[in-house]
Amino acid sequence: MPRLQRYIFRELYPPLVLGSLLFTAVVSFGLYFVSSQWLIGAPVALILQYLALQVPYNLTMVFPMAVVLMVVVAYGRLANERELGAAQTGGVGLGRLAVPAALLALLVSGVSLYFSEWVVPRANIEARSLYWDGITGAGLSQLNGRTVEIGPGLELHFERYDTQTRRMNRVRLQQWQNAQGSADASGRQAIVLFADSGTYEGNSITLRNYRFYRLNYAAIDALGSLAPNVSDEAFREAVRGVFPFASSAEGTIEIDTGLSRKRAIAEFADTISADSVSLSRLWATANDQDATSAERQEARSALSRKLALPLGNLVLVLAALPFALRFGRTMGVALGVALLIAVAYYLTYVLGLSLGGRVIPQEVAPWVANVLFGVGGLLMLRRAS
């Protein structure tokens, strides 16, 4: 790498690191301020752990702001001290001078994508679980009276949750499946378990004093076709077909679910579920032919959102560089310009999302800000050079 580009690298990474730390601290403080009324009386160690678990997600959100600050501060200082002008006089074009910033933005985009795949989903699940189970102690109480899907066709419902014993009361667990040898809707069967109480720990639900039923809805349809003068034995046999199996027990039964307690809290306890889905899982859902069209559409939209923002770091180098050359004269002005560019980018990003599904396809909506800022940055760079 040429000496000039190494020199520019040394100018770029301090504002990038400091900007990432500064903006993450601001967002974390805002999160604490908003949640402070529910954190009163909680142990300091749990609060710090909760805030630390939010850092990976916060970083992916503030990286674009840090990249803009990096470009405006570093190139603004180089332009103010005539170093860029000297390099251009020596035959080094602005494109070559921007290569270090583009490489660092590419690195930041890679880190952001890595976080979105491996770190953010797990950290968010741990954070929401810690909040509801550890800090507030509410546990699964937010799910009272609701029916939630905790596995393929497996639904959980309970009437009351005891926060002291972590026990669900008046539990209903039901599994929907097609009857053997039947593919149409009339062949669907339901396995239903009613229990006085139960616990949900890890990936398992343990039910106590349960009653187990299997219902065959195809057999219910067959009852209507019985002749009026059918014999009592034939009628009883038809009824037994509706309930091919039923039993009760005073002991316990343990059922392995497809969703852990922590993930259930992350997805269902809050009004807006936490970002707990990785990029690879979204890709798999978007291409899963067994998923519904609505599920595939939602997965494609979420995947576009989680790709557009990290790759926006590259676009913002183009958008910020012309402003750095013109306005990045002092640290105060550079910080103000960087904030204005970042806010404008986020507002455009949100505006694009609001147009999704109405004016433009939902998969395209997250890319509106990148396209506009990329084209605008290229046009301004051509004028600047």
Kindly report, residue by residue over 49-59, the tens digit of the pLDDT: 999 999 999 99
State yes or no: pLDDT of 178 exceeds 90.
Answer: no
Per-residue pLDDT for 319 more than 50?
yes
Q: Are 117 and 162 found together in one domain?
A: no
Residue 282 lies in a domain: no
Question: How confident is the model over 245-249, as a mean pLDDT?
Answer: 72
Tens digits of residue pLDDT in 181-225: 444 444 468 889 999 999 999 999 999 999 988 888 777 777 777
Residue 223 in domain = yes
Q: What is the pLDDT of residue 187?
A: 47
Is 57 in the same domain as 117?
yes
**What is the arithmetic mean of pLDDT over 311-338?**
88
Query: 28-37, 146-155, 265-274: which has the highest mean pLDDT?
Result: 146-155
Clarify whether residues 85 and 108 are in a common domain: yes
Nearest to 345, CA basis, from 319, 321, 323: 319
CB neighbours of residue 355 within 10 Å: 14
Per-residue pLDDT reduced to its tens digit, 73-85:
999 999 888 898 8
What is the band of 373 on the pLDDT scale with cuts at 50, 70, 90? very high
Residue 327 or 24, more confident: 24
Question: Terminus-to-terminus CA distance in the chain, angstroms?
Answer: 23
Number of structural domains found in the chain:
2
309 and 369, same domain (yes or no): yes
380 found inside a domain: yes
Question: What does the buried/exposed string (b/e) look like for 139-154 if buried means 16 or more CB atoms within 10 Å of the residue's CB?
Answer: bbeebeeeebebeeeb
Does the residue 111 lie in any domain? yes
- Is the confidence at residue 133, as pLDDT, over 60? yes
Domain annotation covers residue 211: yes
Indicate whether 132 and 213 sit together in one domain: no
For 254-297, how does the pLDDT look when each residue is reduced to its tens digit (9 = 90+)?
Answer: 999 989 999 999 999 986 667 889 999 999 999 999 888 999 99
The parent domain of residue 230 ranges over 142-268
pLDDT at 56: 96
Answer whether residue 70 shows pLDDT above 80: yes
Asked if residue 112 is part of any domain, the answer here is yes
Q: How far is CA 49 from the centre of its chain?
A: 20
Q: Are residues 16 and 110 in the same domain?
A: yes
261 and 323 fall within a common domain = no
Do 237 and 322 lie in one domain? The reply is: no
